[in-house]
Structure 1
Amino acid sequence: MLMVISPAKTLDFETPPTTARFTRPQYLDHSQELITQLRELTPAQISELMHLSDKLAGLNAARFGSWDPAFT
């Protein structure tokens, strides 16, 4: 089986979620490990790693910096 995962270029943060139920993500600990490593990268390095424009790399660098696992 082949699976393609494509990142969204834009996200809608204005529309309220359609559900109020939340669960703890299964791989939250792994996510924290990845974020710790990604926070060490510059936007230019993120751009090269993820094949993103400079604008999206900067946006992702900011998102990595503000990521907090306490959302659940």
Structure 2
Amino acid sequence: MITVLSPAKKLSTECSSNGSAYTKPVFLDHSENLVEILRSFDPIGLQSLMGISENLSELNWERFQNWTSDFSPDISRQAVYSFKGDTYTGLDADNLSEKDIIFAQDKVRILSGLYGVLKPLD
């Protein structure tokens, strides 16, 4: 059985990777194409397109301007540690054992509007 988690609007403010294990999102090439399109919008356009608040549209505009598909432990963080909504608070990923993370990598998927479907270590 696969458990599917919805994404959260709130993301971790820490940018560094949590541990050395990571995987590459399957649809990363599509993410690059999507970001190129989204970069053409101003914050007001993003607000209208995405149906989000002004503050969130400005935050996302900044994220799209700075986004890169290149992985570096200094600027990347695995999906399971990135989201900070209610579901992820309950998941408490920061306190999962290595065995739990390995299990989750096989059995958990996280939906993402930008990346499609993510494994926890993507």
TM-score interval for Structure 1 and Structure 2 normalised by the shorter chain:
0.7 to 0.9
* Equivalent in the alignment of 1:44: 44
Question: Aligned residues, how many?
Answer: 69
* Equivalent in the alignment of 2:63: 63
CA distance in 2, matches of 1:54, 1:35: 19
Greater relative CO, 1 or 2 (CA 8 Å, sep 6+): 2
**Letter of the aligned partner of 1:70 in structure 2?**
D
Q: Deviations over 1:24-62 (max 9, x none)?
A: 111111000000000000100100111111111000000
User: Does the alignment pair 1:35 with 2:41?
Assistant: no
RMSD: 2.3
**Letter of the aligned partner of 1:66 in structure 2?**
N
Identity of aligned residues (%): 32
* SS state at 1:69 partner: coil
In structure 2, relative to structure 1, the CA distance for the partners of 1:71 and 1:17 (3 Å cut) is closer
* SS state at 2:13 partner: coil
In structure 2, relative to structure 1, the CA distance for the partners of 1:46 and 1:27 (3 Å cut) is same
**Letter of the aligned partner of 1:30 in structure 2?**
H
Q: Give the TM-score normalised by the residue count of structure 1.
A: 0.78
Give structure 2 stretches of 5+ with no counterpart. Answer: 73-122
The CA deviation at 1:23 is 1.1
Give structure 1 stretches of 5+ with no counterpart. Answer: none
